């Protein structure tokens, strides 16, 4: 079994720390900063051996250099963004695989938020690290890609098993849910989920990870029927 720890940093980022007890290997996914990550690993007696980056944005790679200097870990990230992530040791893309102990993650190319964005899918473990492509009840902004690319990403994610646990990198669920209620005001699943989300946030609790089944029922971007509908929803969300 893999143990995954959520580390809240900055204003709304989550860094994920994943540990395989059998091998002793520990992976950091998208470290925005180093100090809280190193502290969380030290508190548990874990030695960080790898960093997995999903894309180049500073709030996902900002901790790479300091963690690498402190641990000597190997940094893996998208080959298409190697020029923007100077700390990479291993470049990967669609169809490549990475490992934590005996657990294998397939790399998925999911461009749109950034041109070379990737996700890491541990199919046997029903785990998916999506960076800023998919959020709880939302999707990433189209900074470097197109609505067509994001729609294709959503279709790929929607086809995964229901019990796949989705680890995204931001606490955006409340904002996303309020928008979802505007788009699908009669969707009882969205209304019910938002009641839970609002209660959780009032208690200071996180609302991620999520699951593919939950997103299929309540995420209006994953539920978009075509590219035009996703594009219109993304434009409306960006406009507030």
Which is catalytic among the residues 59, 103, 117, 121? 59
Task: Give every strand in the sheet of 2-9, ordered side by side.
Answer: 2-9, 13-20, 25-29, 47-52, 74-78, 90-92
Name residue, tokens 């539920």: 223
Catalytic residue among 20, 25, 55, 103: 55
**Looking at the DSSP assignment, which residues form a beta bridge with residue 28?**
17, 51
Establish whether 132 is a catalytic residue: yes
113 is catalytic: yes
Catalytic residue among 57, 103, 117, 121: 57
CA atoms lying within 13 Å on the CB side of residue 120: 28
Does residue 55 carry a catalytic annotation? yes
Output the CA–CA distances (angstroms, integers) from residue 77 to 56, 71, 81, 108, 163, in the order listed.
9, 18, 8, 12, 26
Q: Note if 59 is an active site residue.
A: yes
Q: Is 170 a catalytic residue?
A: yes
The residues carrying an active-site annotation are 55, 57, 59-60, 113, 132, 170
């Amino acid at each position: 079994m893999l143990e995954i720890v959520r580390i809240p940093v900055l204003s709304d980022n989550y860094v994920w720390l994943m540990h395989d007890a059998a091998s002793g290997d520990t992976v950091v996914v998208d470290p925005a900063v180093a100090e809280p990550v190193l502290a969380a690993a030290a508190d548990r007696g874990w030695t960080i051996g790898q960093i997995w980056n999903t894309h180049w944005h500073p709030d996902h790679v900002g901790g790479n250099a300091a963690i690498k200097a402190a641990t000597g870990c190997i940094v893996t990230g998208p080959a298409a963004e190697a020029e923007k992530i100077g700390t990479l040791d291993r470049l990967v893309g669609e169809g490549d695989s990475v490992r934590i102990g005996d657990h294998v993650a397939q790399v998925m190319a999911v461009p749109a938020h950034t041109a070379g964005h990737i996700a890491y899918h541990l199919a046997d473990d029903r785990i998916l690290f999506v960076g800023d492509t998919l959020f709880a009840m939302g999707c990433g902004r189209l900074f470097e890609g197109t609505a067509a690319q994001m729609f294709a990403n959503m279709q790929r994610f929607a086809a995964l098993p229901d019990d796949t646990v989705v680890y995204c990198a931001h606490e955006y669920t409340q904002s996303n849910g309020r928008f979802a209620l505007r788009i699908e005001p009669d969707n009882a699943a969205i209304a019910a989920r938002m009641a839970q989300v609002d209660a959780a946030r009032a208690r200071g609790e996180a609302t991620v990870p999520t699951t593919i089944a939950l997103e299929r029922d309540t995420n209006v971007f994953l539920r978009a029927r075509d590219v035009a509908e996703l594009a219109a929803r993304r434009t409306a969300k960006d406009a507030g």
